[in-house]
Amino acid sequence: MRTLAIDAGQSTVKLRHTENGRSSEWTVPGIRTDRPLPPQLIAIVAQAAADGRAFEQVALGVSGLESGGDESGLLLEATRAHGVSAVHLAHDSITAFLGTLGDGRGAVVAAGTGVVTLAVGRTEVARVDGWGHLIGDAGSGFWIGRAAFDAVMRAHDGRGEATALTALLAADFPDLERAYLELQTDPDRVSRTAAYARTVAEAAADGDAVAAAILERAGRELALSAVAGLRRTGEAEAAAPRVRGIGGMFGAEGLAAAFVDETRALLPDADVGIGDAAPLDGAHELPRVDPGSALAAHIAVARTLNVSAS
């Protein structure tokens, strides 16, 4: 079956069209999780069809998705005119897991602009964090970027340690005392703040202690999420529970090292490492998840009658 696989993230949306064993990939701008998701997803599918691609099956991993049940039906109804007869929809934590550990067991922490952890056991699935920048996403790009601003303003006020981050942020905000006003009114403030995670990583690599401490705290937060998920699914007692960190934030050496060290401190026998992020592969695999897998109940499926899932 011709398939359109979609990894819909906040920074970018990745797509893959597969037909007769051949595939092509491209990207479009990210989705806004503070706005209704179905219209954005429908528009993405419609544009792919308008560009001349034919497909009967759409498989999506989506940031900010809730249950997915109602949305899968809406997507199917709205895209039937483009030839779609089956929709497989899941939270992007599901597709991140599938793209990293396959339809198996363990925990995957996906850290980019936001962060979400998914742990899968024999019968249980646990999502940890991924609660958005206002009340969660500990260790994410936004969390790190916000920590950078916090450290700079503390140093500016005399409440905190001097840091090289001050000069780096002042290059974009010459009047530091107005930085919060500019960010508050920017509709892209989440992605804009998250972009400063790279600034933190660069400052840490150059020896700034404050930046290094931010990355270390982020790594420990991400490890805590992984271990919490393993405990909730019963996998913490496994012989060598698998833990993987994926996503752009793990490119920061200090963060990655802290993640690995803290995970092993909490679970000495864990098989822990940094993996390659392949959530688009995970989206492509949604229709192939074993019905007996613990993940199957977390994938919303809508299809027209008499349509095979193959």
Average pLDDT, rounded, for the chain: 93
pLDDT for res 89: 96
**Angstrom distance (rounded) from CA 248 to CA 228:** 22
Q: Is the pLDDT of residue 310 over 50?
A: no
Comparison of pLDDT for 310 and 58, the residue scoring more = 58
Residue 224 has pLDDT above 90, yes or no: yes
Determine the pLDDT at residue 69.
Answer: 65
In CATH, 3-92+279-303 is 3.40.1350.10: no
Strands (E), the chain: 3-8, 12-19, 22-29, 57-62, 86-91, 106-111, 115-120, 125-128, 242-246, 271-274, 300-303
Q: How confident is the model at residue 67 (pLDDT cuts 50, 70, 90)?
A: low
**In the chain, what are the domain boundaries?**
3-92+279-303, 99-274
pLDDT, tens digit, for every residue of 140-158? 999 999 999 999 999 999 9
Q: Dihedral of CA 202/132/16/287: which sign?
A: positive
Distances (CA, A) of 188 to 178, 192, 296: 17, 6, 34
pLDDT band at 180 (very low <50, low <70, confident <90, very high): very high
Give yes or no for residue 218 having a pLDDT over 50.
yes
CA 54 – CA 36 distance, rounded (Å) = 26
Domains 3-92+279-303 and 99-274 are alike in CATH topology: yes
Question: Alpha-carbon distance 183 to 259, whole Å?
Answer: 29
| Beta carbons within 10 angstroms of residue 74's beta carbon | 18
**Once rounded to an integer, what is the mean pLDDT over residues 226-250?**
96
Mean pLDDT of 6-20: 92
* Average pLDDT of span 220-228: 98
**DSSP three-state, residue 231:** helix
In this predicted structure, what is the pLDDT of residue 276? 80
Over residues 273-309, the pLDDT tens digits come to 998 878 899 999 999 999 999 999 999 999 997 554 4
**Domain 99-274: assigned CATH number:** 3.30.420.40
What is the residue type of 196? Y
Tokens 């019963």 correspond to 234
For range 202-227, the mean pLDDT: 98
User: Are 252 and 208 in contact, with CB atoms under 8 Å apart?
Assistant: no
* Range 160-177 burial, b when 16+ CB lie within 10 A, else e: eeebbbbebbeeebeebe
pLDDT on residue 64: 81
